[in-house]
Structures are given as structure tokens and as C-alpha cells.
Chains A and B, each alone.
Chain A
Amino acid sequence: MHALRKLHTALRPLGVLLDIHPEPQHAVVEIRTADQTIAVGQVDQTQDIGEIASARAALRQVLAEGLFILERELTFDFVRHFESVETWLAYRAERKSRGTIADETLARSRALLAQAPGELCVRGGVRAAGYRKA
């Protein structure tokens, strides 16, 4: 919340705060081929979901204090595409991604990608909102 107050000060009158953050939900793992999309599991993001709740509480607080006015919010799917399970796991390791993935999800993904050309996609909901400085 301290950061939000600092950002309020940094904005010019009627300036806009654009906040983009994930929805509090587990991301869906899919295998997409030319013919079909198969959901194979999810990324358990329980810890991240807890932090999202805290972040939203901070936003509600500054709105309640009258620092910002919510103008509009939109949600959309953000999809990360990977050519293989290994590429995905390396990406996660590089970013020290949290969240856990069941072995079954990885095994099924590898099996499906071995059967036909395709890609592994991780699809998560994202919320974007524009707040006008009050």
C-alpha cells in the first residue's frame, strides 16, 4: 500500500494507474495440436493466489481512501506457448517460478507431444484495470 501511495504522488493530476496482475486462479496446461486442444492439468498457484488477494486488498484500501477512482477493468487470457515440456520447465527454472505441477501433467504432456506435432500452452486469466488519480 505504501507503494501505491507513492505512485499516487508521482502521477500528475488526472493521471492513470494501469495495473495488470493475474487472476487468483490456477493456470491451465494444454497441449495444442493442429486438430485439437487438450487440457492436461494445471499449475497449482496457491501461494500466488494468496498474494493476489493481499494485493487486491491494498488496491481496495487506496480506493476507499479516495486516492484513485476505478475507471474500467478488463480480464483476458494470457497464453504462454512452449515447443516442449523441457522448454517450459527451463523457462520456469530461469524465472524461479513458483507453483507446482503434477508429474502426471508432465508425463501426459510429453506423451501427447510425442504422438503429434504441437505445443504446450499455459493459459491464465489476467486482470487489467485503469485507475484515475483522484
Chain B
Amino acid sequence: MPIALDPEQAETRVMHTLVDFTGTDVLEVGCGDGRLTWRFAEQARAVLALDPEASAIATAQASCPAHLLQKVTFETADITIVELAPAAYEVVVLSWSLC
């Protein structure tokens, strides 16, 4: 494989150690191409994944596994501008996006 990102699954293990995603409504900020989204979407009830880059969102939408299409929504959005529903999520994931 020409490129492999964290095949050791260290990030996934740590993420699930810190948060129980089971049955949760999740907001992901800075989802990029969905790389991290797939690592918790299985357990979540619903996921809204945002990224300011339209091209990244297009890639994420195109590569979304079929069985996750019903629960994962990708949107192009800037977190500093987008309107968010209050008290709508059990989990917010800042995916390498705070800095």
C-alpha cells in the first residue's frame, strides 16, 4: 500500500478509551475526507461531520461506506460561522482542527 495512516490503530484505540460513542449523536468538526469519521460512526446513532473544504467533503461523501450513509451527514461549513442547534449532541469531536 503506497500510503497508510496509523495502521497501528493507535488513534482509534485512544479515541474509544476516552469516549463511549455507543448510541450517541456526534458532531465532528474538521472531518476532512472522513478518515476519522469511519472510526466512530459505527457506534454512533448519528453523525454530522463538518469541514470548511468543499473538496474534502466531496471525497468523504464519495467514500462513505454504504451501511453508514443513513447515519452520517457531511456538510461544508466553517465552525466559526455555522449555526448549530443547542444541546443537540452527546459528543463533539475536534478532529485535528483546533489548530
Please give the residue numbers on chain A whose beta carbons come within 8 Å of chain B beta carbons, in ascending order.
2-3, 6-7, 9-13, 15-22, 48, 51-52, 54-56, 58-59, 71-72, 74, 76-84, 87, 91, 126, 128-130
Contact = CB atoms under 8 A, between A and B. Distances in A.
A70 to B, nearest CB: 11
B92 interface: yes
Nearest to A119: B4
A48 B11 contact: no
Chain A interface mostly: strand
A9 B84 contact: yes
22 contacts: A6-B84, A7-B79, A10-B85, A10-B88, A10-B92, A11-B89, A11-B90, A12-B88, A16-B18, A19-B94, A20-B11, A20-B95, A21-B97, A48-B99, A56-B99, A59-B98, A74-B17, A76-B14, A79-B8, A82-B2, A83-B1, A83-B2
Contacts of B13: 76
Interface string B47-80: 0000000000000000000000000000000011
